[in-house]
Amino acid sequence: MTVSGGDGTGPDLEISRAWLVDPASGREGPGEIVVEDGILEAVTWIEGDDALDVTADGIVIAPGFVDLHAHLREPGNEDAETVATGLAAAAHGGFTTICAMPNTTPALDEPGVLAGIRAAAAASGSAVELLAIGAVTAGREGDRLSALGELADVGVIGFSDDGAPVRSAAILRSALAYAGALGLPVIDHPEDATQTEGAEANEGFVATVLGLRGWPVAAEAAAVARDLAILADVVRDVPGARLHLTHVSTAAALDLIRAAKSAGLPVTCDVTPHHLALTDEWLAGARRWSWDATGDPWADESITAGPYSPALRVNPPLRSTEDAAACLAALADGTADAIATDHAPHTEVDKAVEFGLAANGISGLETALGVVLAAVDAGQLPLARAIEALTTGPATVLGGRARRNGSVGLVEGAPADLVVFDRSASWTVTPETLRSRGKNTPLLGRALAGPVLLTIAAGRIAWEAPDA
Amino acid sequence: MTIRVEDDPVAEPSPVSGGLDAPPDHAAVAWRHRHLLDVDVLTETDLDLVMRTTDAMREVLTRPIAKVPALRGKQVTILFYEASTRTRVSFEVAAKNLSADVVNIAAATSSVSKGESLVDTVRTVEALGAQMLVMRHSVSGAPYLAAEIFGGSVLNGGDGWHAHPTQALLDLYTMRERLPGGSLAGRKVAILGDVLHSRVARSNIWTLTAAGADLWLCGPATLLRGFEAWAARGAAGRRFHVTASVDEALRDADVVMALRIQRERMSAGLLPSLREYAARYGLTRDRLAMARPGALVMHPGPMNEGVEIAPDVAAGAQSVITDQVTNGVAVRMALLYLLAGTHAEDSA
């Protein structure tokens, strides 16, 4: 791989004998790319003798990843993350487009807040595209609609009160109809809060042993059932109404979504890397992937770390091995449209406390690829489907609003928007290797496959590994 | 992992054969824990050692001056984030019987207010000279956070709903002392009451199943939530039973332990009323008659007499509740003594 600054504004680059994955064309295989002055000039698929020894286990080139769900904390909590550090983390993770959640202080519930965020993104100089999600309700307080139309006018890509569900069914109904008429989805965080007051961990065996307040599966399933019932009603009057359910974590909720999709409801959903690969066993101190887990780390002596790590406190909580398997199955069969990080950076002050008092969230933009590749390496997910769920999957949820050039794929003649990673190498997650201010990940100290060598966003280098 | 408490510990040499003038030599007594945070990590050998050391401490308690110099010059800080009288005093008496210097701190859990964090408090306590930290906290797992940063030994005096190791060990000691034959193997033990919120019940699951008891947890279905899932897997594979039927739990039981029920359970919508609880689950003389004749009656305290246990049962001939209190001091002396002997190679 050779990268140079180029003569004009963009980089020049040639990569030969790599494994290309292009979900837009449904193709993967050996190939090479040429980038000149930031433009993807040539994508060449190679065959026959030239393709010998080029496997999916080495250098992989894919379209830049799209994240539907990131918390950038600016404005209001810049100690945890800023727009600039969040975009740097995204680039390091291979993402070229990310959607920022509106639970900032103040909340993104009117256009003025968005102007500040866009100014910060421009000032950062990052090539990563920042898309914004507006709040459903004013101040995310759940009582009255935010400035939905004005926010749509300035380009938000959807509405969410994430961090909290839209508590009132009546407000959700209004939001689905109003946003639907604007052509935008409502992105709900499905949680029946009356069942989760004070909840700390997935209700079941592990939480019971550890004495943690149970967070029932039914709290997610009940919220999903409510949302789907309302959607079915609204969509009869407002055909443009669309619901996206984020960070779905349970088999029960995924079954409801699967049925709703086959009934033709306009619903999409995402799952997170941590709900695919981690389970509530980690709270007890086990550190094995969900597909290797038994659900009882005490019985098979697989406890290798201390219990109650606050880095594992997350909403929704890490679930059982069965639920993690259901998330993987939902990705494989298309029930889950996308992998979203739910990147939730926090300061040490908010995390270095008792488990039950720790802030919810995992810093996830930079570890998403490595965790997903662990699932691929273990045969849990085909590589092409994993890449699809990080690229065209979320782009479809966004209805074509991702990317300044309008397309997600290895498209000749367009500004290059791609990621290059090396599946034959690994990197270790440490506070120093993470570009995010949020060092709150349970993967600290762990080696992950697939370090990102290069991220090019809209024809500009967003991340280049120091030794690439 | 296989844990089984030997029935006849007397054959082993006394863990305090070197006298109680100083902390034990760990190479000699084979104690490998720097902290005592939960009972789930205790092996058969560990439990046996605790029982035998408690025997020695019981002997100390019978002396005219119940005091030995084992922990002389050691500072034991008792840091309680939850109101407690009996457990705190029991630890204090135990530490003083071992000649330790005792510092008592009553702290308030500041979850919302940005008060001093637990991490800061533990660092401060250590800087003030604490070598052992006895801690009680309302949040499950809090002692693990303390143990991560504290340079000495942390002894969990109860954390949230999670664990109450010294209570489970004193319960085990008391049962072995009072049951004919001195063994729990095959003995039916019924724990009755608010299992969901009980760290006593959780710790007893580990130690009693390890001791071979036939353990039954019983209470209203709302207060057993999650325990069916645990029972299905067992504690490190060791099975126990969960039932909402008080008759099933008490029938032919050798030991009946009632747990405290708190008024807050009504406001949380878990119980209709204390009156209804007392009528359906209270340990009365009539209910106790379903157990074996002479079955032991236990309660970790403090009791709501007339609610979870009738006054005549609590004070009756079968009650060993005051033995639990006395044995609590001896067990805590034993654990402070064993932990004080920690050396560099000891694990957590």
**pLDDT of B12:** 54
Mark whether B32 and B116 lie in a shared domain.
yes
Region of residue A313 (left: phi > 0; alpha: psi -120 to 50; beta: else): beta
Mark whether B123 and B57 lie in a shared domain.
yes
* Beta carbons of A355 and B236 less than 8 Å apart: no
Mark whether B262 and B238 lie in a shared domain.
yes
Please give the mean pLDDT across all residues of chain B: 91
Q: Which residue of A has its CA nearest to B236?
A: A299
> Is A323 one of the catalytic residues?
no
| B346 belongs to a structural domain | no
pLDDT digits (tens, 9 = 90+) for B285-309: 999 999 999 999 999 999 999 999 9
B11-45: buried (b, 16+ CB within 10 Å) or exposed (e) per residue? eeeebbeeebebbbebeebebbbbbbbbbbbbbee
pLDDT digits (tens, 9 = 90+) for A244-255: 999 999 999 999
**pLDDT of A2:** 59
SS3 of A138, please?
Answer: helix
Among A298, A307, A349, the residue with its CB nearest the CB of B141 is: A307
CA distance B267 to chain A (A): 14
| B80 belongs to a structural domain | yes
pLDDT digits (tens, 9 = 90+) for A276-300: 999 999 999 999 999 999 999 999 8
* Beta carbons of A299 and B160 less than 8 Å apart: no
Mark whether B84 and B103 lie in a shared domain.
yes
**pLDDT of B106:** 85
For residue B6, pLDDT beyond 90: no
| B2 belongs to a structural domain | no
Mark whether B156 and B136 lie in a shared domain.
yes
Does A347 contact B at CB distance below 8 Å?
Answer: no
Q: ipTM of the assembly?
A: 0.93
Please report the domains of chain A, with CATH numbers, ordered by start residue: 66-407 (3.20.20.140)
| B348 belongs to a structural domain | no
| B4 belongs to a structural domain | no
Residue type at A272?
T
| B220 belongs to a structural domain | yes
| Cα B91–chain centre separation | 12
| B267 belongs to a structural domain | yes
Q: Which residue of A has its CA nearest to B2?
A: A299
Does A199 contact B at CB distance below 8 Å?
Answer: no
Inter-chain contacts counted by CB atoms under 8 A, chains A and B: 88
Mark whether B197 and B268 lie in a shared domain.
yes
Name the β-bridge partners of B135: B79, B156
**pLDDT of A384:** 98
**pLDDT of A468:** 58
List helix spans (H) across A182-216: 205-210
Mark whether B209 and B79 lie in a shared domain.
no
* Beta carbons of B119 and A353 less than 8 Å apart: yes
Q: Which residue of B has its CA nearest to A320?
A: B229
Average of per-residue pLDDT across A353-382: 97
Domain that includes residue B271, residue range: 165-325
Element (DSSP H or E) covering residue B153:
strand B153-159
Does A58 contact B at CB distance below 8 Å?
Answer: no
Report the alpha-carbon distance of residue B267 to residue B277 in Å, rounded: 14
For residue B11, pLDDT beyond 60: no
Task: Name the more confident of A419 and A467.
Answer: A419
pLDDT digits (tens, 9 = 90+) for A405-441: 668 999 999 999 999 999 999 999 999 999 999 999 9
For residue B4, pLDDT beyond 50: no
Does B150 contact A at CB distance below 8 Å?
Answer: no
Mark whether B174 and B230 lie in a shared domain.
yes
For residue B156, pLDDT beyond 90: yes
Least-confidence region, from A57-71, A92-106, B25-39, B174-188: B25-39
Does B118 contact A at CB distance below 8 Å?
Answer: yes
Task: Lay out the sheet containing A243-245: strands in order across.
Answer: A186-188, A243-245, A267-271, A338-339
For the entire predicted model, the pTM comes to 0.94
Number of domains in chain B: 2
Which of the residues A12, A67, A342, A422 is marked catalytic? A342
Mark whether B336 and B290 lie in a shared domain.
no
Residue A418: phi and psi, rounded to 5, are -155, 165
Least-confidence region, from A126-135, A222-231, B36-45, B260-269: B260-269
Among A214, A299, A306, the residue with its CB nearest the CB of B226 is: A214
Mark whether B141 and B28 lie in a shared domain.
yes
For residue A1, pLDDT beyond 70: no
Mark whether B137 and B248 lie in a shared domain.
no
Q: What is the CATH number of the domain that holds B126?
A: 3.40.50.1370
| B345 belongs to a structural domain | no
Mark whether B175 and B309 lie in a shared domain.
yes
**pLDDT of A51:** 87
* Beta carbons of A296 and B233 less than 8 Å apart: yes
Among A298, A306, A353, the residue with its CB nearest the CB of B40 is: A298
